[in-house]
Structure 1
């Protein structure tokens, strides 16, 4: 089970500290554990997304490394999270 590694610790319990709705992926092979993680992420204010099987956890590590570099050495500092941009529906 891999979840809650794609953002700084200061946002884990309250994604509302960020503008918009940051995304949180969960990857794992245990459906029950994944559902718990996704529920916790939703409760904390994230857009919780099923990231597939545990074998995808390595890709979440890469996303975490982008966040860490950008936060500590890059221009963004520890003030951001990743978000998804969805296509607009025909009704909007």
Structure 2
């Protein structure tokens, strides 16, 4: 059975925990501290930052600016893990630009910091949390776009998504994470302006 560790207990972390639960995966949620707000749910394992990661897949459900502090605790443990980057590095003070390098992405920069043997997959960043928790986007199953360089890691992420009743679409190598982050940025801005709903969002129609 697939196991997944989710670092972060906010809305997106909770939504991905729902995805994993629907897929029949074991779920560990790692909070920043014992006092971090989150509703405990039966069947999930809870821990705090610094506890051992038990998942085969590790989701970083925290802002990308927190990645260096996360790696202080877990860099060695992430060796041979599939690390899922869900971030959209938006300048939330202006809602006007991405903060990732112009020729790169948060996912690509994260990959440079991880130990040999770990695999980064960019996924879930183009999805709003409500569409992951429900598994639907409007009247259609939620589509999850993802990118990565390693076939085994992509297979693991695809299996998780599809077992949760959603559609998985591989958009290519990790270099495509830049475009995914731009899509995530646009979708969040549109929802914030009321142009779209937080319960819907971008999707692909067959």
Q: TM-score range by the shorter chain?
A: 0.7 to 0.9
Larger CA deviation: 34-43 vs 56-65:
34-43
CA RMSD of aligned residues (A): 1.8
Q: Which residue of 1 aligns with 2:197?
A: 77
More strand, by proportion: 2
What's the TM-score, normalizing by structure 1? 0.78
Structure 1 residues not aligned, in runs of 5+: 87-92
What's the TM-score, normalizing by structure 2? 0.38
Aligned residues: 86
Does the 8 Å contact 2:143/2:169 carry over to 1?
Answer: yes
Q: Which residue of 1 aligns with 2:87?
A: none
Measure the CA separation in 2 of the matches of 1:10 and 1:79. 5
Q: Which residue of 2 aligns with 1:29?
A: 149
Measure the CA separation in 1 of the matches of 2:186 and 2:203. 14
Larger CA deviation: 28-37 vs 67-76:
67-76
Structure 2 residues not aligned, in runs of 5+: 1-120
State the Cα deviation string for residues 14-66 of structure 1 (Å, max 9, x = none). Answer: 31364212321110001111111111121233211111100001111011112
Q: Which has the larger radius of gyration?
A: 2
Measure the CA separation in 1 of the matches of 2:148 and 2:137. 27
Measure the CA separation in 1 of the matches of 2:133 and 2:202. 16
Per the TM alignment, residue 75 of structure 1 is displaced from its structure 2 partner at its CA by: 2.0
The structure showing larger relative contact order (alpha-carbon pairs under 8 Å, at least 6 residues apart) is 1
More helix, by proportion: 1
Q: Choose the corresponding residue for 2:176, options 31, 36, 56.
A: 56
